[in-house]
């Protein structure tokens, strides 16, 4: 075999093996690579007491109660929901119906004490007038948090 | 180009705090790299021209 | 490909292309900046902050595109021993690193007002940070050996190994729950960006691509000439 062919083969086989190894490692790490859990997942497999974790979903409509800097609201994936308490500054995008991720600990009474609230925005970009027009004509599909 | 940006930055808070620094970062980083590359080529050209003429090309 | 592997022939071609690359950079970035900052609408959710997208997203695209180009050049340098491929990889690496750095910085400036955090350890951000370290490692390896050929070999192998990171970056937002939104432009069913916002995005991307061509030509020419000088000094020294 010519050296060029041998080197080509060597590079191709090396890349294939490497790709396979990484794919296996990633699929093994799948659960730990997840940035947040949905409320339903939380209900199905409750985390260890006192473990720090993230929960993602939509802010339930009509659930936000502000009391000074303290906020309580429910975070939902439209199947189940978790009550959240948080003290501090909320991001600009925080509003009812918005996708968010909260970081903190699940308390024994079932509420989630958040230490950080992160807003998630969707992949749609458009001017406000267009969004208004879409909502008026009923073409608007609200984003359901991915689970 | 820069002057209206300053006016803009003063007018809207997100411009001053986030949008404007993002564009400034791009201009600084890409500009610095471009200047460094131009100077590198200028130096290489000077040094190559100082070489005696070669008989044949590689 | 082989025809352009000759450095002298490449230099002639590069000198012809260079003025066009400069012109395209100025034109696309000028138009892109105008659209990005003045002639495009605010977003329905993000308001004016969406304008960071027009510098952030093209930077991230370039970070990946340049890495892919370096990896392809490294493969051809290892397999076919093209002298120009090594020179290209060396010239392109700092440019790719600069774009990756920009993507991280502008992303941070976008994340603070939108998500409420400068940095989070989600899959997308982590994999782009790894890309930045790959660039730094590539540049370090190139200069780590007294014999440049050994450094080039080591760096080329690193560049090829790092290629697995590219699909991870691209699909990280689909495979895992991340704070990043899913893909907007390159996705099934067409872009989910309003055309008024796609215009500045594509103009800036074209401008960055032209900038890359322009800068990489400058650096390749500098490297070819520097090698000539080095070879001459070696001959005289012996």
- Do A112 and A65 share a structural domain? yes
Min Cα separation B45/chain C (Å):
7
Overall domain count for chain A: 2
- Do A28 and A83 share a structural domain? no
Mean pLDDT of C105-126: 86
| pLDDT at position B9 over 80 | no
Distance, CA of A14 to CA of C29 (rounded, Å): 40
| HSE (side-chain half, CA atoms, 13 Å) at A43 | 11
- Do A69 and A53 share a structural domain? yes
- Do A110 and A42 share a structural domain? yes
| Mean pLDDT taken over chain A | 78
Dump pLDDT digits (tens) for A38-61.
888 877 777 776 778 888 888 888
In percent, how much of chain A has pLDDT > 90? 0
Please indicate whether, in this complex, the C-beta atoms of A130 and C168 are within 8 angstroms of each other.
no
Min Cα separation C52/chain B (Å):
5
Question: Would you place residue C171 in the very low, low, confident or very high pLDDT band (cuts 50, 70, 90)?
Answer: confident
- Do A50 and A18 share a structural domain? no
- Do A109 and A55 share a structural domain? yes
**A121 compared with C12, residue with greater pLDDT:** C12
Q: Which domain holds residue A117?
A: 34-137
Question: Would you place residue B26 in the very low, low, confident or very high pLDDT band (cuts 50, 70, 90)?
Answer: very high
Q: Which of A92-96, C3-7, C41-45 has the lowest mean pLDDT?
A: C3-7
- Residue A141 is predicted with a pLDDT of 57
| pLDDT at position C148 over 90 | no
- Residue C166 is predicted with a pLDDT of 92
Question: Would you place residue A70 in the very low, low, confident or very high pLDDT band (cuts 50, 70, 90)?
Answer: confident
- Do A91 and A27 share a structural domain? no
- Do A114 and A48 share a structural domain? yes
| HSE (side-chain half, CA atoms, 13 Å) at A62 | 0
Closest chain C residue to A131 measured between Cα atoms?
C44
Residue A144 lies in a domain: no
Measured between beta carbons, which residues in chain C are less than 8 angstroms from residue A34? 176-177
Residue A146 lies in a domain: no
Beta bridge partners of A81: A76
- Do A11 and A47 share a structural domain? no
- Do A76 and A17 share a structural domain? no
- Residue C2 is predicted with a pLDDT of 57
Please indicate whether, in this complex, the C-beta atoms of B29 and C222 are within 8 angstroms of each other.
no
Distance, CA of C21 to CA of A89 (rounded, Å): 47
| pLDDT at position B58 over 70 | no
Between residues 74 and 133 of chain A, which touch chain C (CB distance below 8 Å)?
A: 89-94, 101, 116-132
Residue B53 CB: number of other CB atoms within 10 A?
Answer: 4
Please indicate whether, in this complex, the C-beta atoms of C59 and B26 are within 8 angstroms of each other.
yes
- Do A23 and A44 share a structural domain? no
- Do A26 and A91 share a structural domain? no
Please indicate whether, in this complex, the C-beta atoms of A122 and C44 are within 8 angstroms of each other.
no
Residue A147 lies in a domain: no
Query: Residue C46 contacts by C-beta under 8 Å, 6 or more apart in sequence?
Result: A93, A121, A125, C114
- CATH number, domain containing residue A133: 2.40.50.140
Chain A: partners with 3+ C-beta pairs within 8 Å: C
- Residue B54 is predicted with a pLDDT of 60
CA A45 to chain CA mean position, Å: 17
| Mean pLDDT taken over chain B | 76
Distance, CA of A147 to CA of A40 (rounded, Å): 9
CA C122 to chain CA mean position, Å: 22
Q: Which of A18-27, A81-90, C90-99 has the lowest mean pLDDT?
A: A18-27
Q: How far is CA C177 from CA B39, C119, C120, C134, in A?
A: 45, 16, 13, 25
């Amino acid at each position: 075999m010519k050296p060029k062919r041998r080197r080509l083969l060597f590079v191709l086989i090396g890349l294939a093996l490497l790709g396979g190894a990484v794919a296996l490692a990633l699929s093994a790490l799948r659960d730990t690579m997840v940035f947040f859990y949905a409320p339903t997942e939380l209900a199905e497999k409750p985390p260890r007491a006192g473990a720090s974790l993230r929960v993602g979903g939509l802010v339930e409509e009509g659930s936000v109660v502000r009391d000074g800097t303290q906020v309580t609201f429910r975070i939902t994936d439209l199947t189940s929901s978790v009550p959240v308490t948080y003290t501090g500054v909320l991001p600009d995008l925080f509003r009812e119906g918005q996708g968010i991720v909260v970081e903190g600990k699940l308390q024994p009474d079932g509420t989630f004490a958040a230490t950080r609230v992160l807003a998630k925005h969707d992949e749609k970009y458009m001017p406000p007038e267009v969004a208004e027009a879409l909502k008026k004509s009923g073409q608007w599909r609200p984003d359901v948090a991915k689970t | 180009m820069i002057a209206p940006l300053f006016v803009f930055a003063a007018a809207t808070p997100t411009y001053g705090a986030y949008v404007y620094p993002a564009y400034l970062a791009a201009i600084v980083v890409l500009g610095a790299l471009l200047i460094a590359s131009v100077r590198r080529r200028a130096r290489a050209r000077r040094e190559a021209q100082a070489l005696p003429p070669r008989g044949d090309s590689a | 490909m082989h025809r352009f592997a000759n450095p002298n022939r490449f230099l002639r071609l590069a000198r012809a292309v260079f003025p066009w690359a400069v012109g395209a950079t100025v034109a696309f970035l000028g138009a892109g900046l105008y659209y990005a900052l003045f002639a495009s609408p605010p977003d329905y959710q993000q308001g004016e902050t969406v304008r960071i997208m027009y510098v952030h997203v093209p930077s991230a695209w370039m970070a990946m595109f340049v890495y892919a180009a370096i990896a392809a050049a490294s493969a051809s340098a290892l397999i076919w021993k093209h002298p120009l491929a090594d020179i290209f990889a060396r010239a392109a690496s700092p440019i790719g690193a600069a774009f990756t750095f920009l993507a991280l910085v502008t992303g941070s400036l976008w994340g603070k007002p939108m998500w409420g955090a400068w940095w989070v350890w989600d899959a997308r951000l982590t994999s782009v940070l790894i890309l930045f370290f790959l660039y730094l490692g590539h540049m370090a390896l190139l200069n780590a050996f007294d014999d440049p050929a050994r450094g080039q070999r080591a760096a080329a192998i690193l560049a090829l190994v790092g290629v697995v990171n590219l699909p991870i970056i691209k699909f990280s937002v689909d495979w895992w729950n991340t704070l990043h939104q899913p893909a907007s432009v390159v996705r099934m069913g067409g872009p989910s960006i309003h055309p008024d916002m796609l215009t500045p995005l594509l103009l800036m991307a074209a401008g960055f691509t032209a900038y890359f061509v322009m800068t990489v030509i400058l650096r390749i020419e500098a490297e070819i000439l520097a090698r000539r000088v080095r070879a001459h000094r070696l001959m005289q020294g012996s």
